């Protein structure tokens, strides 16, 4: 394709966006030159990735540790039944789908767990980060890394029929710990397992996140929200709470005490939201040959593998192993049992 054809295609693709007074030619070019990272390619992450890919954000890094499951299809719009059956990780499946939507932009898919040892590499070279995570521990970690590297990010969360979002600009706006000094204690807050999620509420919050991202990336920083936006779509209620000013005593943005980022060793086991599964992490991460591991496990159960992962089914369990040694053990919520299965079949 010639350079002129590429220019003509871009003119046609973004025509309705270019004539928007708030974006225009200059704003569209800024989008094409922009780089973002989306941490978590689940409900919010897929909606935001789809919107921003279609808007023409030039580079999109997609980071997620998980595989699509049947229960995801109700609200995670970049996946279908074939992705569940193929066993392709979410980040890779999303990049594949979005490349077909807009081949003119660059996608990078990282199939990995986000933790203190790798998050800085994920966000330090982008203009903006979108929160697509499902837990506050990861958000506090992102908050620390974003402040350290002066990278703005857009928080979003949805549970049941309600959700919230806010835009955080290090050094300018209050950070996550200014607004929420402490994360909810275990058992205090509802989860997707206990309260469910309305897909339309996800779309609403993702639309807010995407719009804030477009405002920032096109340079219209004056229009960015100064509030925590809270919605309940079932009740059709919308509330704005002023974020006020930064807390000078905030441990993160005030004192630069990065407690979450300084936890260098990731937790060995994690209970995964929305499924009877435990994730196993190995630190330091090895480099596994999935082909060799598959050959070794042939007599243990039903084994299949591809470039991204190996899957072993046996005795009511499903073990998914990644090249970096990380594994998801489905069929148990007992960390001890999960570690035992991992040690028995993979080794630790």
Q: What is the pLDDT of residue 2?
A: 60
Domain definitions of the chain by residue range = 34-242, 269-345
Task: Provide the pLDDT for residue 65.
Answer: 87
Check residues 282 and 110 and name the one with the higher pLDDT. 110
Q: What pLDDT is stored for residue 13 in this prediction?
A: 94
Average pLDDT estimate for 208-231: 98
pLDDT for 242 equals: 95
pTM of the model: 0.83
Using alpha carbons, list the distances in angstroms from residue 243 to 130, 164, 174, 180: 19, 13, 7, 11
Q: What is the pLDDT of residue 321?
A: 92
Sign of the dihedral through C-alpha 34, 31, 213, 39: negative
pLDDT category at 187 given cuts 50, 70, 90 is very low
pLDDT score of 185: 53
Per-residue confidence band for 16, with pLDDT thresholds at 50, 70 and 90:
very high
- Domain 34-242: CATH class, spelled out: alpha beta
pLDDT tens for each residue of 79-112: 999 999 998 999 999 999 999 999 999 999 999 8
The mean pLDDT of the chain is 90
Which of 175, 178, 192, 253 is labelled catalytic?
192
| Position 186 confidence tier, pLDDT thresholds 50, 70, 90 | very low
Which tops the pLDDT comparison, 120 or 269? Answer: 120
- Whether 128 shows a pLDDT value over 70: the answer reads yes
Query: What is the pLDDT at residue 18?
Result: 95
What pLDDT was estimated at residue 188?
Answer: 46
Q: In this predicted model, which residue has the larger pLDDT, 267 or 277?
A: 277
Summarised one tens digit per residue, pLDDT across range 49-75 is 999 999 999 999 999 988 998 989 999
Does 192 participate in catalysis according to the annotation? Answer: yes
* Per-residue model confidence as pLDDT tens digits over 312-345: 998 889 999 999 889 999 999 888 788 878 877 8
> How far is the C-alpha of 315 from the C-alpha of 339, rounded, in Å?
16
- CATH architecture type of domain 269-345: 2-Layer Sandwich (3.30)
Higher pLDDT, 208 or 316: 208
């Amino acid at each position: 394709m010639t350079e002129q054809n590429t220019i003509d295609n871009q003119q046609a693709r973004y025509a309705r966006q270019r004539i928007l007074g708030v974006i225009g030619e200059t704003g569209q070019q800024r989008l094409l030159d922009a780089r973002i990272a989306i941490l978590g390619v689940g409900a919010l992450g897929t909606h935001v990735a789809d919107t921003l890919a279609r808007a023409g954000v030039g580079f999109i890094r997609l980071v997620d540790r998980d595989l699509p499951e049947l229960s995801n299809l109700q609200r995670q719009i970049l996946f279908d039944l074939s992705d569940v059956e193929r066993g392709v990780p979410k980040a890779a499946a999303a990049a594949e789908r979005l490349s077909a939507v807009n081949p003119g932009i660059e996608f990078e898919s990282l199939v990995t767990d986000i933790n203190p040892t790798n998050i800085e590499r994920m966000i330090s070279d982008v203009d903006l980060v979108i929160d697509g995570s499902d837990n506050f521990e990861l958000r506090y970690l992102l908050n620390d890394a974003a402040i350290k590297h002066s990278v703005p990010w857009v928080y979003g969360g949805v549970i049941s029929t309600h959700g919230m979002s806010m835009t955080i600009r290090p050094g300018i706006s209050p950070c996550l710990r200014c607004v929420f000094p402490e994360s909810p204690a275990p058992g205090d807050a509802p989860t997707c397992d206990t309260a469910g999620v309305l897909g339309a509420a996800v779309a609403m919050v993702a639309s807010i996140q995407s719009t804030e991202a477009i405002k920032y990336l096109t340079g219209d920083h004056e229009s960015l929200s100064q509030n925590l936006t809270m919605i309940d779509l079932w009740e059709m209620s919308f509330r704005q709470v002023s974020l006020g000013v930064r807390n000078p005593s905030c441990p993160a943005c005030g004192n630069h005490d990065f407690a979450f980022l300084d936890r260098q060793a990731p937790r060995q086991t994690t209970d995964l939201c929305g499924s009877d599964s435990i994730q196993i992490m190995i630190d330091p991460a090895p480099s596994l040959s999935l082909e060799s591991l598959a050959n070794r496990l042939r007599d243990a159960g039903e084994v299949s593998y591809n470039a991204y992962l190996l899957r072993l089914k046996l005795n009511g369990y499903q073990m998914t192993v990644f090249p970096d040694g990380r594994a998801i053990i489905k069929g148990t919520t007992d960390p001890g049992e999960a570690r035992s299965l991992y040690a028995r079949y993979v080794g630790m």
